[in-house]
Structure 1
Amino acid sequence: MTGTIHSQELALKIKQSRRKKVLAWTVAGVLSAIYLVISLAPFIFMVMNSFKEKFEMLVGGVFALPKSLSFSNYSSVLQGNFLHYLLNSVMILVISLLILLFVSACASYPLSRFHFKMRAPIYSVIVACMCIPVHITLIPIFRMAKASHLYDSVWSLIGPYVAFGVPISVFILTSFMKEIPREIEESSEIDGCNKVQIFFKMILPLSKPGLATLAIYNGVNMWNEFSFAYTLTQSANSRTLPLAVWDFQGQYSMNTPMIMAVLTLSLLPMVIIFIIFQDKLVKGMTAGAVKG
């Protein structure tokens, strides 16, 4: 009799647990669907209206589907200076990211693996630089660009982008490298490797998830950066995509579908890169979470 009661209680608990799981998954699914709609709605709105004619939004409404897929907006944008702006952004992004990741990795390696007196103060100063507002440095950096004859060139943007990306990159990468087992480093030293060889052959390959995460994080910030690009460049030959959007907005202020086409083309490279490297981003984030 007692065994029957226990089995009934156990079956009841299992049913309640299943109901709770079903309810939890249902709530999670509903919240995820709501978040997905909120996230995709602006993107769908932008792409949908980019195919409309100039006055079609005023006549048919902003949320109405386009009467036909008109690519005239995209062809007009591409016939202008958009591709030149795109090339400038890509060049600045690639060079800045390569320098930033290399400098951050070189700084994070001794801060995470070596023991010396000034390690804590140096690390504290680097982390404290994260608190410096970008806008208070615009005038000094502008004067430096003028004095070094780099003003109004794409090279004037690489320095600030790298400098402001180093603190957060060193902060994250130092924590990531600390979790790499020291046995790997010790075994490499037994095999005759010096510190430089260990860094390039062991530490850097094992830090690829963290480097990929930093590349995507800093890459998005550099791609969308406006303040330095607006302050340090003037001519169309040196401007980047955010300024292209600014210029097109002023040029086609009454042609909203044209502006939507510019925004779509500006956003498309980052979407493609994220789709390609999203697995590395997730691995880097989960690795940091597990090790942290």
Structure 2
Amino acid sequence: MRKRPNHLAGLAAGIWLLIIGVPLYALVNTAIQPQGSYTDGGPLALPSKVTFENFSTVLHSGFLGYLWNTVLVAAFTVAIVLATCVPISYAVVRGRGWITRGVFRLFLLGLAIPAQAVIIPLFYIVNRLGLYDSLWGIVLPTAAFSMPVSILVISGGMREIDSSQFEAMALDGATPRRVLRELVIPLARPAIATASVFAALQAWNGFLFPLIMTQSENDKVVTLGLYNFVSQYGANVPALLAAVLFSAVPILVVYLFARRALVSGLMGAGGK
């Protein structure tokens, strides 16, 4: 039987494509125009002159150094989140005692605490640890605030694993560490990938912790580096948007490779 076309869904998809595509077009369109003429025809008009000078300006401003710092912050944040959240989620799912339930509720409580509310104590702790004005001063708070959602997502994915598989490995004499390594991690890979992407996005787009915890030029990340194109008397908008494009490409590549696992992990998190 031939399926009937869903015109309403097609129309909704076309509208959503316009909602997403028009701002992206305006972003790229402005980034390839000279600073003196990018407002002549409006943000949606075709460029009268195309130039790549804005990208050259970004490259010569040290923005690649900020990009590298951001990559380091994101990589270390994801590593810390996975190294802690995977075993914690496993203990929460397989544990039957009040301690594991209490730990899970404690992490869920972190969802209700905004970073802005505790920024002063965090600054004091980071300063006392000697991590102020270093990338670790950004990594540790970012990882801490990424853990509640990550544990929620990973534990949701682990709950999708059939209990009979745990029983089979227990009868085979597998230790909890072997069960985690050979059964849980492979089957919970979509949820783990989802938590990884979420933690990477938190680190990549973070602004508050880099602003408060660092001050030197060598420790700047992309969110702070964008301020280099804004001065007291105006802003170099085309160069600023060119820098935004540079900062968006790496995380877009990560999303393209992890999009299927991301969707599967989010579905698993809400499954049980």
**TM-score range, shorter-chain basis?**
over 0.9
- Letter matched to residue 145 of structure 1: V
CA distance in 2, matches of 1:110, 1:252: 56
1:43–1:97 CA distance, 2 compared to 1 (3 A): same
- Are 1:252 and 1:258, in contact at CA under 8 Å, matched by a contact in 2? no
- Letter matched to residue 58 of structure 1: T
- Are 2:154 and 2:269, in contact at CA under 8 Å, matched by a contact in 1? no
Deviations 1:91-112 (A, max 9, x none): 0101110110121111111110
Task: Name 1:7's counterpart in structure 2.
Answer: none
Task: Name 2:47's counterpart in structure 1.
Answer: 66
Task: Name 2:62's counterpart in structure 1.
Answer: 81
CA distance in 2, matches of 1:277, 1:173: 15
CA distance in 2, matches of 1:177, 1:61: 51
- Letter matched to residue 240 of structure 2: I
Deviations 1:80-139 (A, max 9, x none): 110110000000101110110121111111110121132322221211111011101111
The question of 1:147 aligning with 2:128 is answered yes
Instruction: State the shift of 1:236 in Å.
Output: 1.2
- Are 2:77 and 2:199, in contact at CA under 8 Å, matched by a contact in 1? no
Instruction: State the shift of 1:226 in Å.
Output: 0.3
Q: If the length of structure 2 is used for normalisation, what is the TM-score?
A: 0.93
Instruction: State the shift of 1:251 in Å.
Output: 7.7
The question of 1:203 aligning with 2:188 is answered no
Equivalent residues in 2 for 1:209-220, closer than 5 Å: 209-220=190-201
CA distance in 2, matches of 1:74, 1:217: 28
For residue 98 of structure 1, the aligned residue among 51, 63, 79 is: 79
Q: If the length of structure 1 is used for normalisation, what is the TM-score?
A: 0.87
- Are 2:150 and 2:198, in contact at CA under 8 Å, matched by a contact in 1? no
Q: Which stretch of structure 1 is more off in the superposition, 165-174 or 243-252?
A: 243-252
Deviations 1:144-169 (A, max 9, x none): 12111111111111110111111111
CA distance in 2, matches of 1:60, 1:175: 50
CA distance in 2, matches of 1:171, 1:252: 46
- Are 2:153 and 2:194, in contact at CA under 8 Å, matched by a contact in 1? no
Query: How high is the sequence identity, in percent, across the aligned residues?
Result: 27
- Are 2:229 and 2:235, in contact at CA under 8 Å, matched by a contact in 1? no
Equivalent residues in 2 for 1:172-191, closer than 5 Å: 172-191=153-172
Task: Name 2:249's counterpart in structure 1.
Answer: 268
For structure 1, the residue ranges without an aligned partner over 5 or more in a row are 1-13
* Deviant stretches of 4+, over 4 Å: none
Task: Name 1:256's counterpart in structure 2.
Answer: 237
The root-mean-square deviation of aligned C-alpha atoms, in Å, is 1.9
**The residue matched to 1:193 in structure 2 has which SS?**
coil
Equivalent residues in 2 for 1:9-158, closer than 5 Å: 22=5, 25-158=6-139
CA distance in 1, matches of 2:254, 2:101: 36
- Are 1:176 and 1:288, in contact at CA under 8 Å, matched by a contact in 2? yes
- Are 1:109 and 1:174, in contact at CA under 8 Å, matched by a contact in 2? yes
CA distance in 2, matches of 1:250, 1:198: 56
Structure richer in helix, relative to its length: 1
For structure 2, the residue ranges without an aligned partner over 5 or more in a row are none
Instruction: State the shift of 1:260 in Å.
Output: 1.3
CA distance in 1, matches of 2:269, 2:110: 22
CA distance in 2, matches of 1:228, 1:159: 10
- Letter matched to residue 91 of structure 2: P
1:75–1:251 CA distance, 2 compared to 1 (3 A): farther
- Are 2:153 and 2:266, in contact at CA under 8 Å, matched by a contact in 1? no
CA distance in 2, matches of 1:254, 1:156: 29
Larger Rg, first or second structure (1 or 2): 1
CA distance in 1, matches of 2:269, 2:125: 37
